Amino acid sequence: MSDSPLAPVVTSRRATVLFLLMLIYTSNFVDRTILSTLAQAIKLDLVISDAQLGLLQGLAFALFYTAMGIPLARLSERVNRVSLIAVCLTIWSGMTALCGLANNFLHLFLCRIGVGIGEAGCTPPAHSLISDLYGSERRATALAVYSFGIPLGVMVGTVSGGWLVEHFNWRVAMVVVGLPGIVLAILLRLIAREPVRGASDHKTVEHEKAPSIREVARHLFGNRAFLHITIGATLVGFVGYGTGTFAFAYFIRMFHVGYAELGLAFGLVTGLSAGLGTLLGGWMSDWAGRRDRSWYALLPAIGLLFATPLYIIAFTRGDWVTAVWWMLLPGLFHYAYIGPTLGVMQNLALPRMRATATALFFVVVNLIGLGVGPYATGALIDFAAGRRFAAAGLGDFATLCPGGVGAADAAEPLRQGCASAMAQGTQDGIVVMLLVFLWAAVHYLIAARHTGWLRRPAAAATAP
């Protein structure tokens, strides 16, 4: 490496750090979303509603994830970001393992709060690190590689969680997926080095004062194009986290598939689709964005317009194998929004505000998307199941179908009615939620049409 403080990190070290951060983000999403794979088993064991499952997946995690995100991001503007990520990784991994010891809804809720607190210290400093390793013209691609941890984490969690819950139980699954994060924390601390802030932008900012939160918010959201991108990304998160929480449970309820078999098929198919969509979205937006930066917003809009009908087709098939195969297509389009959205944010942010920018962005996206999306979907499913049950002339669903399956001593026709209403209600709730993707696409289209930073050719734009 050159002696110059502004010299870029050598390619091999930069790629190694990026790969390690991607693995950490994979662990992040395994621990964050494992509950959706285990949802049906937890629901039956703890006898809770889908709305409560939505609270465990969403609000319990998101409320403290967003609350701690800003102070931890501010801290990462001043301290060693590598060490901060390692500490937070250890916390959220340990709390995930502790989820396996929960005896009731409240215990599990508190453990999920702990997971959210730990994970709040991952992405803001990670985005800041990556933006100091890669310049603006490759930043969306690098952030897409990091974000590949999202579909990879969901895939690993789905496959491993499905196998573990079928052969052991959901408690063992929580412990097993939680502990590997501690090993990753040790590897990160041994391998990664703190880069010079601003090096990839050919400026040194090590001794500059970090802007205030108000200054960062004004800088980001004062750009009307990025404001619409944020609204679009929030709506995508609202749908994605909401439907994702119950997608695995839908297949079990509708088709009575085994956890292990479904976990393998569903995890591999959706993981491959979402992974390719994430990587291609980052690469294609950087490629097209060199000619016209409006493609950073156009590409996500087009992807969401294609993904919506394809997802609806997948969730309305008559057999589970056909439905899972249909899931290959929409993920390619849906996840294309991640790279360009994060690339715009980090290109717009100045070097000393990048971690805070990420935290502010995720406060909005996660508080509404992750915090409200799963609960809203669960409540919608409970409502739809109740309507289906009442329409069949069976009575009050909430009273007669505890846990969505009916009491153990209930007559078989009643138990079958509970199961049927639960399956059909889950399908109804997911399909209605998917239509919100179209609303998100509208905001990305508005951002692409705005006269401002996004529409200027990259060569003419002032690098942030």
**Where in the sequence is the domain holding 307, given as residue range(s)?**
11-195+210-455
Establish if 294 belongs to a structural domain.
yes
Is residue 289 included in any domain, yes or no?
A: yes
- Which of the listed ranges 61-70, 108-117, 284-293, 355-364 does the model predict with the highest average pLDDT? 108-117
Query: Would residue 258 count as lying in a domain?
Result: yes
Domain presence at residue 93: yes
- 79: its two tokens: 């301290």
What residue has token string 């990026």? 18
Number of domains into which the chain is organized: 1
What integer pLDDT is reported at residue 450 of this predicted model?
72
Is 205 within the bounds of a domain?
A: no
**Separation between Cα atoms, residue 300 and residue 337, nearest integer Å:** 4
pLDDT, tens digit (0-9, with 9 covering 90-100), for 383-410: 999 999 999 888 888 888 887 776 666 7
pLDDT tens digit string along 209-254? 667 778 888 887 888 888 899 999 999 999 998 998 889 889 999 9
Question: Which pLDDT value is given to residue 5?
Answer: 40
Instruction: Return mean pLDDT, the chain.
Output: 84
> Domain of 94: which CATH number?
1.20.1250.20
Query: In the block, which residue shows the tokens 């621990």?
Result: 31
| Tens of pLDDT, residues 158-196 | 888 889 988 999 999 999 998 889 999 999 999 888 877
126 is a domain residue: yes
What are the Cα distances from residue 44, in Å, to 39, 174, 185, 389?
9, 16, 34, 19
Q: Is residue 59 part of a domain?
A: yes
Confidence of residue 64 (pLDDT cuts 50, 70, 90): confident
Instruction: Give the N- to C-terminal CA distance of the chain in Å, as an integer.
Output: 25
Q: What is the pLDDT of residue 365?
A: 86
pLDDT digits (tens, 9 = 90+) for 27-36: 998 988 788 8
Q: 413: exposed, middle or buried (C-beta count within 10 Å: 0-12, 13-18, 19+)?
A: exposed
Return the percentage of the chain with pLDDT > 90, whole number: 31
* Amino acid found at 440: A
Is residue 460 domain-resident? no
Highest mean pLDDT among 39-43, 145-149, 296-300: 296-300
CA angle at residue 25 from 21 to 27, to 5 degrees?
115
Instruction: Give dist(CA 411, CA 422) in Å, integer.
Output: 17
Can you tell me the distance from the alpha carbon of 253 to that of 248, in angstroms, rounded to the nearest whole number? 9
